[in-house]
Amino acid sequence: MFKYHVGVVIPFYQRESGILAKALLSIAAQEVKKTKFTVVIVDDGSPVPADKELASIQLPDNCQIELIKQKNAGPAVARNTALDYLQKNKIDTVAFLDSDDVWNKHHVSEALSALSAGAGFYFCNHSRFNTALSWFESLNCFKEWNDMLIEYNIKFSSDKNLAELSGANCFKLFIREYLSQTSCIVYDFKSLSDKRFDPSLVSAGEDFFLWLHLVRSCEKVIFSLSKNVHCGAGVNIYFDSFDWNKLSSSTQHGYHFILYKMILSSFPLQKSEYALIKQSADHHLNLYSYLMLKHLITRVGFNRGLAVSILKRFPGAMFLIPFRFIRAYMNRKILEK
């Protein structure tokens, strides 16, 4: 008899074979008792088909795989497809795992302990293939740890590994910095089953926007200082966009501009929070303006759908793009955060 039933959401879009197997084996290796996993893999038009990857994988009896195929629509739509399936099947707990990431063997047991202690939302620290620093070590708020404990009323577990805070305070922390990568998150789906990723944020910000909604809806959030997730080097839209010679760089900044404008209109923010988010929106609009016109001039490409979306939602911003481009061209410091 299973005590817990965890739904695992895996959007799949990869160009290399063998990546998905590592993610699935890390689920099978979880050291957690009386737990069943329903793993929903959504093949989002992947160049390497998911069913080809699954053909040679053997998982234990407590791991059930459901494969759903769809035309490429981006990670938000793919994850929503999986969440819809899990809601229909009345799954109480949802965890996310990107197809190129792996879980530490204690990840789910620690998350379930947090949810059993009354948390509605759990996340943990993680490591990444391209840096020696953990994610928490790279964040400014964790560099100011003692001040953060007081400001956000964070309480430790007896072993000093888990930290507890209110959903309201966690929301304030998320506004300040992006605290958690998707594969690190587990939450109480039973009480938050109506929340979804915003599909209008096609390639950036859809996860951050949902985390804000989730933590704001929770009374308690618990996070772990342990690096319970390792993020791999598969297809990653966000990190691929760091190359300014790629069209994905202007696209990412354009969607981030939309994200921060949505945050400004969706949540009640304190004056300092509003100023911080507005500054982020302006920064990404400057970058989008510069890179979008640069890519047009150099014939890298043009994301017409994104430009139309910005024009419809924020026409004033779109009309000022040429002026922002000229200003940034004359003074590149404007593009620095």
Q: Name the CA dihedral angle for 224, 111, 269, 140, rounded to a multiple of 10 degrees.
A: 20
Domain boundary residue among 238, 260, 295? 238
CA nearest neighbour of 97 among 260, 286, 234: 234
Same domain, yes or no, for 102 and 185? yes
Whether the CB-CB separation of 293 and 322 falls below 8 Å is answered with: yes
Whether the CB-CB separation of 28 and 60 falls below 8 Å is answered with: yes
Here the tokens at position 19 are: 């990546």
Structural domain span for residue 57? 4-238
CA distances 31 to 125, 193, 277, 319, Å, are: 18, 26, 40, 55
The predicted-structure confidence for 119-128, as pLDDT tens digits, reads as follows: 999 999 999 9
- From the number of C-beta atoms within 10 Å of its C-beta (0-12, 13-18, 19+), residue 18 rates as exposed
**Which is higher by pLDDT, 238 or 325?**
325
The predicted-structure confidence for 96-109, as pLDDT tens digits, reads as follows: 999 999 999 999 99
pLDDT confidence band for 55 (50 / 70 / 90):
confident
- From the number of C-beta atoms within 10 Å of its C-beta (0-12, 13-18, 19+), residue 125 rates as buried
Token match 């690190």: residue? 184
Domain boundary residue among 238, 267, 300? 238
Same domain, yes or no, for 161 and 61? yes
What pLDDT sits at residue 326? 92
What pLDDT sits at residue 241? 52
Same domain, yes or no, for 51 and 161? yes
Based on the structure, what is the number of domains in the chain?
Answer: 2
H/E stretch holding 256 reads helix 247-266
- Find how far residue 172's CA is from the centre of its chain: 17
Same domain, yes or no, for 227 and 291? no
Same domain, yes or no, for 233 and 245? no
Domain boundary residue among 219, 238, 257? 238
Q: What is the CA radius of gyration of the chain?
A: 20
Same domain, yes or no, for 80 and 18? yes
pLDDT confidence band for 115 (50 / 70 / 90):
very high
Residues 6+ apart with CB under 8 A from 172: 152, 270, 273
Same domain, yes or no, for 13 and 111? yes
pTM: 0.93
Cα distance between residue 315 and residue 320, in whole Å: 9
The predicted-structure confidence for 289-314, as pLDDT tens digits, reads as follows: 999 999 999 999 999 999 999 999 99
Same domain, yes or no, for 259 and 233? no
Task: Using DSSP, state whether 34 is helix, strand or coil.
Answer: coil
Judged against a pLDDT cut of 70, whether residue 258 lies above it is answered with yes
Same domain, yes or no, for 149 and 12? yes
- The mean pLDDT of the chain is 93
Same domain, yes or no, for 219 and 314? no
Here the tokens at position 14 are: 């990869």
Same domain, yes or no, for 155 and 275? no
What pLDDT sits at residue 17? 85
Judged against a pLDDT cut of 90, whether residue 237 lies above it is answered with no
Same domain, yes or no, for 219 and 277? no
Q: The CATH number of the domain where 23 resides is what? A: 3.90.550.10
Judged against a pLDDT cut of 70, whether residue 240 lies above it is answered with no
